[in-house]
Structure 1
Amino acid sequence: MHFSFPGLLWALGLLAIPIIIHLFYFRRYKQVYFTNVRFLKELVEETSHRNKLKNLLILACRLLAFAALIFAFAQPFFKDQKMATARHKAVSIFIDNSWSMNSSSSEGSLFIKAKKSAFDIIQAYSEFDKFQIVTHELSGKQTQLYSKPEALTALEAVVQGSTVNSFSKIVKKQQQALSGADGFEKEIFIISDFQKSITDPILDTFQTNIKINLYPLVGVKEANIAIDTAYFINPAILKNQNNQLLYTLKNYGHEDVENIKFSYSIQGQEYPVQGINLKSGKTVTDTLNINISSSGPQKLILKIADFPVQFDDQYYLSFQAEEEIKVLVIHNKKPPTNLLQALQSIPYFKSQLQDVGAITYGNFKDYRLIILSDLQIVSSGLADELKKTLQNGTNIFVFPAENLKDGYASLQSSIRLPGLTNFTISKKEVGSIIYESGLFDDVFMTKKSNIKLPIVSSSYQFTGNSFNEPLLKFKDGSSYVIRYASDNGFVYVSSSSADPEINSLSKNAEIFLPLLFKASVSGKNTSVSAYTLGIDQIIQLPVKENVTLKDNTVRCKGPEEFITSARLAPGVINIEMFDQLKKSGIYDAYNQDQLLGTLAFNENRKESPMEFVPKDELQKYFGENTIIIDPDNVGNLTASLKDTRDKQSLWWFLILAGLLFLIFESLLIRYWKNK
């Protein structure tokens, strides 16, 4: 027999106290004087024997009841060798290797403590058992079951990383690995700080035949300030211009913070920013004016000084800075003077005119916007080139000529241009700006009711394309200017000519200039990148030149260097990151020695809120039958697990025996009367 708490057995010595009391009670006697006591003496002796027997039985019941309780608290058990060896075990151990496990504990960081606990768990099992070592990566190699020595080696290789997954996904991965262990007794261990942001219910997917054990680690409560996000307000980043960058900081702690040190760097050059005050639980959103002195690929890093949680203290962006925004206007013999003047009035816009009969197709990729001004016919060759330029991220603006017949049929088939029908010569006034489209969001501070809107003397109606998004509408509700997405760009279409004698749009600078600017800089194929580790697995890198990838791979060079798979698509290269990327930062992407572009990757902000599920609430997420192993109440984890697994506990038998002895004592006192 063995005892879980043998130190409690010293209490058995206290049983001597009632024995001593009873012995003294038996020795008490009383003198009685009678002239003849022969018959009385016989009666007294008989009664005394009966009372002594009753008292001895009561004493025995009390001693046995107290002894049973003392043994019960000492928790005796027998080693059950049959139970220990009957079935081999398949054990899945999850070690939380996310950044939140950097919190301090009495044994160092929680991550170090988690690895030590996993080591102790493995040591509690035999050489014949199998083990799965799982982390947030959930990589393919983590699905296999190891022998005990192999599991210890795999555990040693576990390091912290940026990937974060929910517990429902983690447990599902553990169950998948254990499902192949036929004939094994299956068990799951989860060692984590159980951050609220990743702890979700697993009850819908959990297999009830698998025993699950939670080992919650609690560290020192940490404060945290994070750069949540940052992005440029305008997608076109210009050299020697104040480009507005919008950023958001949040205080996830429970105390106000003053004068947070904040800075940013461009191409390695550091620039300080005025300190920021941030109240507990609050968010601040502000702008920075970023001035870039050179064109080409740029690397921007935002930084704050925050301790001890630092994984979200930097935010990386990469982008392409341009010297100017190039716009091409294709016309038919008669140059659109008003349109050209409007483009020239926009700073950093460089416009170029080409007659439809003398077009240089090879330069299309250099333009942000191509305007078709009053063309009667669009050839199939031009339509095909416009299709290619949309794939490269260039936008197109179409101003149709009057009295079209089938001149735009090639555009309708190649870039899904909507039908231009019901040409009418009549005066129509534009009645509304569609602010919901988002194009004019930051153009007007308020929705103006007295703004002067264009007037046309002839116009078409749009038909056919159900994906049209109206930007301006006539007073009769029909669309005046629309746009729709096509490949990697947008197509803007006016229902009326660009001729100022027909359409007053070019004379209305308050509407026309913002429309031209937004049509030039908007697009799905933006040059700004800020991706998230573990979430953005396939990256679309815009390219404007014909590229031939060697072995369909791209070499990425930054905080670490690796080669990853890539696939060519029209206008972009799809770079497959998956589990190749481990560290945040800015990477240069190369095709052999040719620089394709730069990519910025940030840590996942999912763990920025430093809030954790209390131990007594974990069963709400993992089920009532889940075993919670409290590290504060476990001395030697290995020994504790062995004892729990291999022993046949007797404590509840002893509790039952103690109750029976107390009941028997009560019956003796009640029904055995003294004489």
Structure 2
Amino acid sequence: MRYQNPQLLLALFAIAIPIIIHLFNLRKYKTVRFSSIRFLKEIKQAKRSRSRLKNLLILLSRILAITFLVLAFAKPYIPTKQEQTDIAKNIFFYIDNSFSMESVSENGMLLDIAKNKAEEIANQYDTESNFYLITNEFSAKHSRSFTKAEISSRFQQLTTTAHYKSLAEVISRQQSLNKQNENAQMYALTDLQKSTFAIENVNQNDSNLSILIIPLNKTAENNLYMDSCWMSSPIIQKGKAIEIIARVVNKSDVTLTNLPAFLHVNGMQKAISNFSVPPGEKQNITFKFTPLSSGFKQCKISLQDYPISFDDNFYFSFEIIDKIKVLNIYEQSPNFSLQSLFQKDDAIDYKSVYIGQINYEEIKNQQLLILDGLTTVSSGLVQSIASFVKDGGSLAIFPSNDINFDSYKILSSELNLDEYLRKDTVKQKVNKISYPHKVFEGVFEKEEKKINLPMVSSHYKISDKNNTNKQSILTLEMGDDFISHYTYFSGDIYLFTSSLNDAGSNLGKHALFVPLLYNIALMSYKTTQLYYGIEKMQYFNAPTSENKETIYHLKSKNYDIIPAEKFVAGKRKLYLQEKLKEAGNYLLTTGGKTIATLSFNYSNKESDPSIYSGKEVEEILQKNNIKNIKINSSTNQNISNIVQEIQLGKSYWKLCIILALLFLLMEIMLIKFLKS
């Protein structure tokens, strides 16, 4: 037991006052004449014993009343382990300013409550204390200590942010700020959101740091949000209907019925979809619209939800180009089937070029490259093709009837393809078709048991070394592949085992040729990623530019960000670090020209409103044997009492006042009701 004001214990000498009064309180007897005192002697003995007992009890109650009154002013307490060593002068505040702190309680928005409580706590410390502020941004402007006068204004400047941090990350940040490793006290004001706070991951027991978690309770734990969206088909064309699917999540205990969701494209509402979703479940909602023009499409799907509204909008974007560029490289003569299919199509920019006149620089500007009947593939062409496919281009290989195997082996090795081994002249029919493959998107209504498939007069057997990287599209009746699909980095490769002329097969004249090659061409245009998450550091391929000094800008109505540049694996990349803070659609520009559109959404971790209870936190801390972290379970406890208990320990002055009043009341009762 210790005392905050031990000098006041000298007042205990006041106990002598009631003792002296007791000793010198001589009664003045009054003479009464009686004819006989025989019976009075017995009465006198009884009353004297009772009077002595009463006086002793009154004396005891007065002594105890004075004792506890003096102790109340001396403020007794049982010290904490920290106080037995040294009271911390470095005071850290972690204020959770993630989007979940926009939720409301009976006393207002959680972030406002957190700021006010932090200010009250700071006011309980003296001016010699060093104050530090930690928020979810880990801002550089909060990397130094603040005075008591400064910290208050820092609290009030806080706003919500898309960033969030776990308790383990917050402790790591505190340790980096407390460079001298001195005794420190941290107050963590948070809503204890399970998905982000992650108290289970804390495994340290730093004796120099004490943490008090002050939970901020919200009125409801319900939320409706979207966690993803996608296109139903990889083929997007002007004038043709497209289907967009979004997935909504109901984090509540009630079924939500007949709610509207809205699709906006370039600022105009294009579709509306009503949906219902059971409690705790996910539901896909579908929008259909027909783009009437090419160009960039900046899209937004919006819901109406309260009180958590930061995730009510979901952004995505894509581009519809005017024409897909297809380049056919031939050796003998341009293939008639390819020319008939592509040359007069308004959606295709088709060009045929003789192998001896090819400009390698022209290859990188195409979406689809077709090798039609080449006997030999030169090393220069191999390198250009590899670079083209690695950057996302599509390649279709039709071998000649008499290929140079060594030449094609180099190409296969460069692109991780199966090699052509030898020629098989046994006439076979295609008897197996991979209906689920994307090249047959919209071609068949159902799987046909009896279908007329191409006839193959001769084909090349392949090595079958890259099974993990291969999908068979068409298979011959003896089990050999006729068309195989490979992926190489972000590009697609379609390997045909037969030439496109009559000597190889009748594919060029077959009904399957048109949808097969046309879909390969349409899918050769790779749409950019529909959306990105803000929380992650995002890298982007820098658009092709002859000028290495090109400066890119990522722009929206409120922001103009210049992405940093790095070379990753020999390629020029753009990345945003943590400059981007607001969800939305952005344009990537250079020299005043828009070259791409990008969309960013907040992380859906914050959208899960589940929180820890105080009991759960205590159980986790006990299980992990963490003794320097405590949680304030009392919602109505006074802030000054919280700080006092942390600084000094358990205080008993209130109990002393209660006991002092109790003994004074006992004295009054003894005097009034206990007869002598």
**The TM-score by the shorter chain falls in which range?**
0.7 to 0.9
Q: Deviations over 1:318-365 (max 9, x none)?
A: 221122333222222243334455557999445433332333444434
Query: Take 1:439 and 1:89, find their aligned partners in 2: how far apart are those partners?
Result: 68
Q: Which residue of 2 aligns with 1:302?
A: 301
**Where does 1:308-457 land on structure 2 (aligned, <5 Å)?**
308-341=307-340, 348-404=347-403, 405-412=405-412, 414-428=414-428, 430=430, 432-433=432-433, 450=450, 454-456=454-456, 457=458
Q: Deviations over 1:447-505 (max 9, x none)?
A: 66555555533222136657631324555655443333334312222233333442354
**Where does 1:38-117 land on structure 2 (aligned, <5 Å)?**
76-77=75-76, 83=83, 86-117=86-117
Q: Which residue of 2 aligns with 1:471?
A: 472
Query: Take 1:538 and 1:143, find their aligned partners in 2: how far apart are those partners?
Result: 25
* In the alignment, structure 1 residue 489 sits paired with structure 2 residue 506: no
Say if 1:234 and 1:274 are closer, same or farther in 2 by CA, change over 3 A.
closer
Other structure's SS at 1:197 match: helix
Say if 1:149 and 1:407 are closer, same or farther in 2 by CA, change over 3 A.
same
Other structure's SS at 1:229 match: strand
Q: Which residue of 1 aligns with 2:18?
A: none
* In the alignment, structure 1 residue 129 sits paired with structure 2 residue 129: yes
Structure 1: 5+ residue runs without aligned partners? Answer: 4-34, 659-675
Other structure's SS at 2:297 match: strand
* In the alignment, structure 1 residue 627 sits paired with structure 2 residue 630: yes
Comparing 554-563 and 611-620, the one that deviates more: 554-563
AA aligned to 1:337 is: F
Q: Which residue of 1 aligns with 2:673?
A: none
CA contact (8 A) 2:87 2:647 kept: no
Other structure's SS at 1:120 match: helix
CA contact (8 A) 1:77 1:647 kept: no
Q: Which residue of 2 aligns with 1:24?
A: none
Tell me how far 1:74 sits from its aligned partner: 12
Tell me how far 1:107 sits from its aligned partner: 3.7
Query: Take 1:107 and 1:567, find their aligned partners in 2: how far apart are those partners?
Result: 48
Query: Take 1:477 and 1:86, find their aligned partners in 2: how far apart are those partners?
Result: 81
Q: Which residue of 1 aligns with 2:535?
A: 534
AA aligned to 1:483 is: H
Say if 1:462 and 1:221 are closer, same or farther in 2 by CA, change over 3 A.
same
Other structure's SS at 2:195 match: coil
- TM-score of the pair, normalised by structure 2: 0.77
* In the alignment, structure 1 residue 516 sits paired with structure 2 residue 514: no
Query: Take 1:429 and 1:126, find their aligned partners in 2: how far apart are those partners?
Result: 90
Other structure's SS at 2:369 match: strand
Query: Take 2:388 and 2:396, find their aligned partners in 1: how far apart are those partners?
Result: 13
Query: Take 1:137 and 1:444, find their aligned partners in 2: how far apart are those partners?
Result: 52
Query: Take 1:507 and 1:616, find their aligned partners in 2: how far apart are those partners?
Result: 74
Other structure's SS at 1:198 match: helix
Comparing 481-490 and 521-530, the one that deviates more: 521-530
Other structure's SS at 1:406 match: helix
Q: Which residue of 2 aligns with 1:664?
A: none
Tell me how far 1:523 sits from its aligned partner: 6.8
Query: Take 1:429 and 1:59, find their aligned partners in 2: how far apart are those partners?
Result: 117
Match of 1:190 among 180, 188, 193: 188
AA aligned to 1:325 is: I
Query: Take 2:525 and 2:337, find their aligned partners in 1: how far apart are those partners?
Result: 29
Match of 1:200 among 198, 210, 220: 198
CA contact (8 A) 1:379 1:410 kept: no
CA contact (8 A) 1:559 1:586 kept: no
AA aligned to 1:92 is: F
Comparing 644-653 and 596-605, the one that deviates more: 644-653
Q: Which residue of 2 aligns with 1:603?
A: 602
Q: Which residue of 1 aligns with 2:505?
A: 503
Query: Take 1:563 and 1:345, find their aligned partners in 2: how far apart are those partners?
Result: 42
Say if 1:60 and 1:36 are closer, same or farther in 2 by CA, change over 3 A.
closer
**Where does 1:574-613 land on structure 2 (aligned, <5 Å)?**
574-613=573-612
Q: Deviations over 1:107-128 (max 9, x none)?
A: 4311111112222222233333
Other structure's SS at 2:372 match: strand
Query: Take 2:58 and 2:506, find their aligned partners in 1: how far apart are those partners?
Result: 113
Other structure's SS at 1:579 match: coil
Other structure's SS at 1:578 match: coil
Tell me how far 1:312 sits from its aligned partner: 1.3
Comparing 251-260 and 299-308, the one that deviates more: 251-260
Tell me how far 1:303 sits from its aligned partner: 2.0
Tell me how far 1:167 sits from its aligned partner: 3.1
Q: Deviations over 1:142-200 (max 9, x none)?
A: 4544444444444343221112333333333334433x233x21222211111222232
Comparing 141-150 and 278-287, the one that deviates more: 141-150
AA aligned to 1:470 is: Q
Q: Deviations over 1:497-516 (max 9, x none)?
A: 33344235445545x55653
CA contact (8 A) 2:552 2:589 kept: no
AA aligned to 1:634 is: Q
Query: Take 1:121 and 1:443, find their aligned partners in 2: how far apart are those partners?
Result: 69
Q: Deviations over 1:227-286 (max 9, x none)?
A: 332222334432222122122223333334444343222222233514434443343313
Say if 1:166 and 1:521 are closer, same or farther in 2 by CA, change over 3 A.
farther
Q: Which residue of 2 aligns with 1:292?
A: 291
Say if 1:568 and 1:244 are closer, same or farther in 2 by CA, change over 3 A.
farther
AA aligned to 1:641 is: V
Say if 1:446 and 1:607 are closer, same or farther in 2 by CA, change over 3 A.
farther
AA aligned to 1:206 is: Q
Query: Take 1:509 and 1:61, find their aligned partners in 2: how far apart are those partners?
Result: 113
Query: Take 1:126 and 1:87, find their aligned partners in 2: how far apart are those partners?
Result: 12
CA contact (8 A) 1:588 1:598 kept: yes
CA contact (8 A) 1:398 1:494 kept: yes
Q: Deviations over 1:201-225 (max 9, x none)?
A: 3455323422111111112316433
AA aligned to 2:618 is: Q
Query: Take 1:85 and 1:125, find their aligned partners in 2: how far apart are those partners?
Result: 18
Q: Which residue of 2 aligns with 1:642?
A: 644
Query: Take 2:519 and 2:488, find their aligned partners in 1: how far apart are those partners?
Result: 16
AA aligned to 2:130 is: K
- TM-score of the pair, normalised by structure 1: 0.78
AA aligned to 1:173 is: R
Other structure's SS at 1:367 match: coil
Query: Take 1:521 and 1:164, find their aligned partners in 2: how far apart are those partners?
Result: 41
CA contact (8 A) 1:235 1:527 kept: no
For the aligned residue pairs, the C-alpha RMSD in angstroms reads 4.4
Size of the aligned set, in residue pairs, is 619
Other structure's SS at 2:332 match: coil
Other structure's SS at 2:608 match: coil
CA contact (8 A) 1:240 1:294 kept: yes
CA contact (8 A) 1:388 1:570 kept: no
AA aligned to 2:96 is: D
Say if 1:326 and 1:244 are closer, same or farther in 2 by CA, change over 3 A.
farther
Query: Take 1:305 and 1:151, find their aligned partners in 2: how far apart are those partners?
Result: 37
* In the alignment, structure 1 residue 263 sits paired with structure 2 residue 265: no
Query: Take 1:92 and 1:130, find their aligned partners in 2: how far apart are those partners?
Result: 8
Tell me how far 1:49 sits from its aligned partner: 8.1
Comparing 262-271 and 423-432, the one that deviates more: 423-432
CA contact (8 A) 1:91 1:186 kept: yes
